[in-house]
Structure 1
Amino acid sequence: MTHAFVALLPVFIVIVLGAVLRRTNLMGEAHWAGVDHVCYFVLFPAIIFKEIAAADFSQIPVWQMAASMVLALMTMFALLLLLRVPLSNMLGINGAQFSSLFQGATRWHTFIAFAIVPLFFGDDALALAAVSAATMTPLLNVVCVIVLSLYANNGGERPSAGKLALVVLRNPFFFSSMGGVLFQLSGLTLPTIGIQVLDMIGRGALGLALLTVGAGLHFGEAAAAKTTVALATALKLLLMPVLMVLALKLFGVSGTPAAVAMLCSAVPTGSGAYVLARQMGGDAPLVANILTFQVICAAVTIPLVLTFLV
């Protein structure tokens, strides 16, 4: 566990640096929003497209890996929805707060995962992280929108098929990963200059993204974390990796592909959960509390998971 913690320490140091920079007001709110926007819509999509388009997947069990991730997520979805009423009664939460618990227990922070994967498994493993993004991002977006529509803001309006399709298609991780898949299927080879350009675009993404993670943390609120925040943290950082490992074993996935998929399941919830909650009547402050507490706890739980489950 010590080796894993030391290996991942730079990730959490950069996150803390982002938090310090935010609180010193060296960069204003608008600047942080701009950096996050560029990472989300330009830098990370460039990484995802390049890693999928240029990777050699001939020796990688892509379909088994994808099926494992879908099964693990669907299992968590089912558990939360089946236990919604008793959990809500036990925690004393309403529909909007349940939707935040749901997002906190299921979504994953792509920025953190993509920063950890090359540190622990090498740069070549980023292609496997891109497979994870291509698999989990569309499914999570669709299901979380449905859950928010059903339970947040007193149920609200149920999403149409067109609205769900638009949510998925507007996600930059989806169209960059699908673009990479289509390029792979075309049989073309990504030109060297194209790889160099995409590398240059994406090279600064990991550091910048981690800084924005730190800048978005709310430590004062996390210190007063309630039972709902603690439960979302336990489900996401501990139970989700266990479900992923069981699914990977079921589909016979092992080695680095299994380790990367498991790691992607073990990172904190995504910051997109806050935006979605704010847009669809969920409890956005609760999502912010969950994300902050999970990032703090992940400094211990991720090395723990890497030590005992990989």
Structure 2
Amino acid sequence: MILFETFLHTLEITLPVFAMVFIGLGLRRLGWIDTAFINTASALVFRATLPTLVFLSIVRADLSATLNPGLLGFFALATLAGFVFCWLWAAWRVPYDHRGVFVQGAFRGNCSIVGLALAESLYGDFGLSAGGLLIGVVIVLYNALSVIVLASYQPGEKAGWWMILKDILRNPLIISVFLAIPFAWGEIGLPGWVMTSADYFASLTLPLALLCIGGTLSLGGVQAGRKTALSASMMKMVVLPALCTAGAMLAGFEGRELGLLFLFFACPTAAASFVMAKALGGNARLAANIIALTTLMASITVTLGVFALRTAGLI
């Protein structure tokens, strides 16, 4: 009975997030949303509403509780270790032309949207503020490592490192994190009407972004996926979350910190990996298949992972 109640509570955490994804898929198939809407809404989320949400979550945070250098450092090291592990596996098991896309799809998670939504669902304001700080680490690492591995295998156009650095520094999420920290650290308040208006605007973020993720899914693409896409998806959704979460437990993380790390490790592959692969001459179809497969798998793997950790009393 206790296990059943725990499982139901776990579904209450994960189902709202993934239900929005599948609603987006349904709306696209009904023709109620189209590519133009998805492109516009995605740009609005990335450039404005999501940075606002991250800014507010950090401004309201108690940095003494949420700014955890150990947590940020472990996440960075685990991401690097996962990246190296995926590359070694790809060098052994994946055809040469597919290795770059395989590695990116296997290690690059959609933390900014799915991870943050799950963190808020499980931990509320703490999940948003601590997750927002983790996103700063995510953006820098994911972009730099993706360029390294894609440029190593693909014959397409090479992105210069100065351009990549400028893109990172101009990233709206990075800017929002750096702008918010002084406000939170100095406990600088903003007028009530500003905070209320910002809350209204930021509240658009997660439902709109999740609908767009669902709207970009292609079941036909999933059916056309091959062994490489499935292998990368299993690496992203099962192998790496299990290894990294076990490593976090051995490192002494527990409770909310362990739960937050698991959610970020267990995110499906980021949609940005398709854009990056296409820009650097990679196999865009393979990248799209990995995104679709991992997003579909996430509703099961994340739910089971949270259930297992909660049943064990670890989060």
Same fold (TM over 0.5): yes
State the distance in 1 between where 2:154 and 2:85 align: 18
- 8 Å CA contact 2:51–2:173 kept in 1: the answer is yes
Query: Which digits, 9 at most, give the CA deviation of each residue in 1:196-220, with x for residues without a partner?
Result: 2321111011111111010000111
Q: Residue 27 of structure 2 contacts residue 33 of structure 2 at CA under 8 Å; is this kept in 1?
A: yes
Partner of 1:152: 154
Counterpart position of 1:99: 100
What is residue 278 of structure 1 aligned with on the other side?
278
Query: What's 2:80 paired with?
Result: 74
CA distance in 2, matches of 1:42, 1:99: 31
Alignment of 1:104-143 (within 5 A): 104-109=105-110, 110-143=112-145
SS across alignment from 2:295 = helix
Per the normalisation by structure 2, the TM-score is 0.89
Aligned partner letter, 1:143: L
Whether the 8 Å contact between 1:64 and 1:251 is mirrored in structure 2 is: no
Deviation at 1:150, TM superposition (A): 1.6
Taking structure 1 as reference, are residues 123 and 141 closer, same or farther at Cα in structure 2, changes over 3 Å only? same
CA distance in 2, matches of 1:294, 1:112: 12
Q: Does residue 48 of the first structure (1) align with residue 51 of the second (2)? A: no
Q: C-alpha distance in 1, partners of 2:173/2:165? A: 14
Deviates more, 1:188-197 or 1:223-232: 188-197
| Distance in 2 separating the partners of 1:6 and 1:23 | 26
How much has 1:23 moved relative to structure 2?
A: 1.7
Change over 3 Å in CA distance of 1:99–1:167 after alignment to 2: farther
Counterpart of 1:153 in 2: which secondary structure? coil
Residue identity opposite 2:143 in structure 1: N
RMSD over aligned Cα, in angstroms? 2.0
- How many Å separate the matches in 2 of 1:190 and 1:261? 31
Alignment partners' CA distance in 1, 2:280 and 2:43? 20
SS in 2 for 1:270: coil
Structure 1 partner of 2:16: 10
1:64 matches 2:70 = yes
Deviation larger for 18-27 or 244-253: 244-253
How far apart are the structure 1 equivalents of 2:160 and 2:182?
27
The one-letter code sitting in structure 2 at the alignment partner of 1:252 is G
Q: Deviations over 1:48-83 (max 9, x none)?
A: 111122210212461011011111111111112233
- Name 1:197's counterpart in structure 2: 197
Q: Are residues 11 and 163 of structure 1, via their aligned partners in 2, closer, same or farther at CA, if it must alter by over 3 Å?
A: same
After the TM superposition, which of the residue ranges 291-300 and 192-201 deviates more from structure 2?
192-201
**Counterpart-to-counterpart distance in 2, 1:29 and 1:83:** 35
Structure 1 counterpart SS, 2:244: helix
Please report how far the alpha carbon of residue 267 of structure 1 lies from its aligned counterpart in structure 2 after TM superposition. 1.2
Q: Which runs of 5+ in 1 are unaligned?
A: none
Separation in structure 2 between the aligned mates of residue 43 and residue 70 of structure 1, nearest angstrom: 26
Q: Distance in 2 between matches of 1:190 and 1:285?
A: 46
Q: Contact conserved, 1:69 with 1:247, CA < 8 A, in 2? A: no
Distance 1:26 1:64, change over 3 A: same
3-state SS in 2 of match to 1:59: helix
Q: Any idea what the Cα deviations from partners look like across 1:233-277, whole Å, max 9, x if unmatched? A: 111112222233234335433211221121111110111111111
Cα shift at 1:21: 1.3
1:25 matched to 2:58? The reply is: no
Runs of 5+ unmatched residues, structure 2: 1-6, 310-314
Runs of 4+ displaced beyond 4 Å: none
Give me the TM-score of the superposition, normalised by structure 1.
0.90
Displacement of 1:28: 2.9
* Inter-partner Cα distance in structure 1 for 2:179 and 2:239: 32
Post-superposition CA distance 1:95-139 (Å, at most 9, x none): 3x2222112111121211222222222243211211221121211
Instruction: Report the equivalent of 2:220.
Output: 220
Larger displacement relative to structure 2 (18-27 or 34-43)? 18-27
Amino acid at match of 1:258: L
SS at match of 1:58: helix
In structure 2, the residue corresponding to 1:282 is in which secondary structure?
coil
Whole-angstrom distance in 2 between the partners of 1:273 and 1:2: 33
Aligned-pair identity (%): 26
